[in-house]
Structure 1
Amino acid sequence: MRGYMGEEVVSDIERRFPIAFSILLYRDVEQAERLLRALYRPNNIYCFHVDLSADPVLHKAVESIVKCFHNVFISSKLEDVVYSSMSRLQADLNCMADLLQSNVPWKYFINSPSQQFPLKTNLELVKILTVYNGSNDIEGITQPFRMLKNRIAYKYVVKNGSMMLTGEKMGKPPHNITVVKGSAYGAFSRQFVNFTLHNQMSRDLLTYLKDVNSPDEYYWSTLNHDRMIAAPGGYTGVPDNKPFLATYANWGLGCHGKYVRGVCIYGLGDLPELVSRHELFANKFYRDYQPVALRCLEEWHFNKTFSFLPYELYYYRHLPFINGYFY
């Protein structure tokens, strides 16, 4: 069925280590479906979150896709996502809640925008996450010039479909928590997901961050790195001193595609670097921009799935956040 992997290609290692994924989209269902196809295994579980305000045709298309699978579903609660608002974070939380209610005993959760693509096969993901052993792969930034403190110093409100600065100062975080910045994406242990949804400190932090700009870039990072919270799989060291491997986004020089709002939209010239990186995913691609780039990466990923070559885990076994976690 359109290249989707069936039970016959799933190894015993993969069967024993199911992964949960969320895929967020607001346009281009074809690209989202290609991401699902690359990630798909019948023992995993997948939650689509479709922007509530997306074109009805897109909603119908996703509904048609999920009908083909027993382990793919649409989030039970959809958000009208406003860029950099709480609704973006809430979309992930909605999928997390649904995934915890499923019968699949998944070990890790990975949240993915539809515009990223895996750099690792499912078997490689399983091997890497097994090495993680309950620790989370979440970015942490505390350096003042990278914290973008203007986003969290004053309150914002959604107005006319965008975030507007109110001029009202934010109060102090609850429970003497120290806010840390990072990526909206990560690889989260099941214990961390359960903690996020049910712990009172995590709920209080969520309420506090609802008024800031881009709460999804502060919530996961703060939960993972603040010692007062002590979330499962959290990191005890200096956040900036460890690598972040859940996803790779190019915000600097060396983009062979084009920059959109400061981030690289990968082109064909970026592929030699991408296929050699340690990160799990690359973000981001546009299906209608240098489409050969995404097609080539898809083919490389497909061929690697069936190469059955040994995968060296030395780099991952020596990551600093593997040994410094609450678990």
Structure 2
Amino acid sequence: MSTQKLGDEIRRQADGVRFSRRPETAHVECHRILQDDKDYVKKITKNRTTLVVRNISMTCDELRRRIVPSKKLHPLRFGVAHARIVYESYEFIEDELRSSYHPQNVFCYSVDRKANENFNNHINALAKCFPNVVVTKARFNIDSSGHFMNHAYYECLKLLADKPGWGYLLLMQNYDVMIKTVYETVAILEKLEGANDVHIRPCEAGRWNHSFKWDARSLRLYRDERLATPAQLNGSLTFARGAVHASLSRAAVHWMVKIVDLTVLLDQLNIKAHGIDEVLIPTLQVSEIFDMPGRFTAECVKGGHINGFITRIELWGGNKMCQSKKFRHAVCIYGIEDFSWLSRHPKIIANKAGMPVVNQLLRSDGATYEEISKDL
């Protein structure tokens, strides 16, 4: 789709996508922040808004009223599946669902075991009220080192593999913000032409246990070994690491769920080390012998090179682009100061917006769609 046509399509949808402004943010003039009015942004940051937790209705009628656009949306070339691990800030999660909602899109939530009962009830209500929302039954104790992160994602992949209509799947975390509309997201993913979008870099030796066996037979990788060649059955993984976030083709997800069984591999990777969640997808992506759909060559990682990706934008400690100057685990926590440049960034997801106010402003009242589309 051309830039002009994409902008026209977004503008046509603007009247059907309206986000409810919270009283706490109603005074904020979104257009001035989008235009990078530095004096105005400085004024707003001097008196930062805190969102008050509300007792909101969770009936199906109310949920549909808040989430489903009032006008019929134009069809997508293909739907997008969202696999998101969540644990807190339900209203933020609902805002994210609303911003990406389309009948062709599907959404899976894997709830961390640490989440409280009220949060669990709210997430389960979404699955009850929307046919394109599912929630995994399994609960894992996920930590900042990444333990059980990929176990949780795998449960979502199993549920989403049989859902019809979607072409790509996004791996997401609790405080990720979609910074592209549903139409922009599909237009970007369509350009991949079936390739997976995975961040790849060499994997440090301490990220996996070298005493374990990593060949297909030892991992009991293939569900039906008759579908694998002798070379594949005897082949071993090529290790890499990268971001947890990724955009996976439907064919790749089908392979991960229906052709192979990742259970043993997940358990063997779940060692007492930091960042173990960053190994699974990059390793599968460059393990040429197993030929996962959408993979690419291992030559770059073997040469010590890093492959970037378009799925996620994140800023690490010391990066001057982080206008909020706030970091958690060395990752920028975006503030209202980052709103303008994030709205123009070419990537799909921003990680991480720990301040729900930013999400509220990104979702504003439809003006955001209009303003962004003018720049396309």
Common fold: TM-score over 0.5: yes
Q: Which moved more, 1:70-79 or 1:262-271?
A: 70-79
Residue 331 of structure 2 corresponds to which residue in structure 1? Answer: 263
Cα pair 2:207 2:279 within 8 Å, conserved: no
Residue 94 of structure 1 corresponds to which residue in structure 2? Answer: 155
Match of 1:297, as an amino acid?
A: L
Residue 86 of structure 2 corresponds to which residue in structure 1? Answer: 25
Residue 295 of structure 1 corresponds to which residue in structure 2? Answer: 360
More contact order relative to length (CA 8 Å, sep ≥ 6): 2
Q: Secondary structure at the match of 1:101?
A: coil
Residue 143 of structure 2 corresponds to which residue in structure 1? Answer: 82
Residue 149 of structure 1 corresponds to which residue in structure 2? Answer: 205
CA distance in 1, matches of 2:372, 2:311: 23
Residue 351 of structure 2 corresponds to which residue in structure 1? Answer: 283
CA distance in 2, matches of 1:47, 1:67: 13
How far 1:210 moved relative to its partner? 2.9
Residue 18 of structure 2 corresponds to which residue in structure 1? Answer: none
| TM alignment of 1:33-112, pairs within 5 A | 33-102=94-163, 104-112=164-172
- Structure with max Cα Rg: 2
Aligned pair 1:206/2:266, yes or no? yes
Query: Relative to 1, partners in 2 of residues 1:268 and 1:231: Cα closer, same or farther, differing over 3 Å?
Result: same
How far 1:78 moved relative to its partner? 2.6
**Residues 140-180 of structure 1, C-alpha deviations (whole Å, 9 max, x = no match):** 002xxxx443333x5xxxxxxxxxxxxxx544632332210
Residue 137 of structure 1 corresponds to which residue in structure 2? Answer: 197
How far 1:192 moved relative to its partner? 0.6
Q: Secondary structure at the match of 1:132?
A: coil
Query: Higher strand proportion, which one?
Result: 1
Fraction of identical pairs, as percent: 24
How far 1:311 moved relative to its partner? 9.1
Q: Secondary structure at the match of 1:141?
A: coil
Cα pair 1:50 1:78 within 8 Å, conserved: yes
Residue 29 of structure 2 corresponds to which residue in structure 1? Answer: none
Cα pair 1:124 1:311 within 8 Å, conserved: no
**Residues 64-120 of structure 1, C-alpha deviations (whole Å, 9 max, x = no match):** 233332211211333232333442111110011011133x22111112112011111
Residue 121 of structure 1 corresponds to which residue in structure 2? Answer: 181
Q: Secondary structure at the match of 2:313?
A: coil
How far 1:310 moved relative to its partner? 8.9
| Equivalent residue in structure 2 for 1:230, among 272, 291, 296 | 291
Match of 2:347, as an amino acid?
A: E
Query: Relative to 1, partners in 2 of residues 1:287 and 1:66: Cα closer, same or farther, differing over 3 Å?
Result: farther
Cα pair 2:142 2:149 within 8 Å, conserved: yes
How far 1:306 moved relative to its partner? 5.7
Q: Which moved more, 1:90-99 or 1:17-26?
A: 17-26
Q: Secondary structure at the match of 1:89?
A: helix
Structure 1, unpaired ranges of 5+? 155-168, 313-327
CA distance in 1, matches of 2:144, 2:278: 12
Q: Secondary structure at the match of 1:67?
A: helix
Cα pair 2:201 2:307 within 8 Å, conserved: no
**Residues 294-324 of structure 1, C-alpha deviations (whole Å, 9 max, x = no match):** 3222238x44546795997xxxxxxxxxxxx
CA distance in 2, matches of 1:217, 1:122: 27
How far 1:249 moved relative to its partner? 1.1
Query: Relative to 1, partners in 2 of residues 1:199 and 1:107: Cα closer, same or farther, differing over 3 Å?
Result: same
CA distance in 1, matches of 2:186, 2:306: 25
Match of 1:243, as an amino acid?
A: G
CA distance in 2, matches of 1:192, 1:183: 17
Q: CA RMSD in A?
A: 2.6
Q: Which moved more, 1:262-271 or 1:302-311?
A: 302-311
How far 1:32 moved relative to its partner? 1.1
Query: Relative to 1, partners in 2 of residues 1:150 and 1:241: Cα closer, same or farther, differing over 3 Å?
Result: closer
Q: Which moved more, 1:178-187 or 1:62-71?
A: 62-71
How far 1:220 moved relative to its partner? 0.3
CA distance in 1, matches of 2:286, 2:367: 37
Residue 247 of structure 1 corresponds to which residue in structure 2? Answer: 312
Cα pair 2:150 2:266 within 8 Å, conserved: no
**Residues 236-295 of structure 1, C-alpha deviations (whole Å, 9 max, x = no match):** 25254543111111114122221111111011211222122211010101235xx2x332
Structure 2, unpaired ranges of 5+? 1-63, 216-234
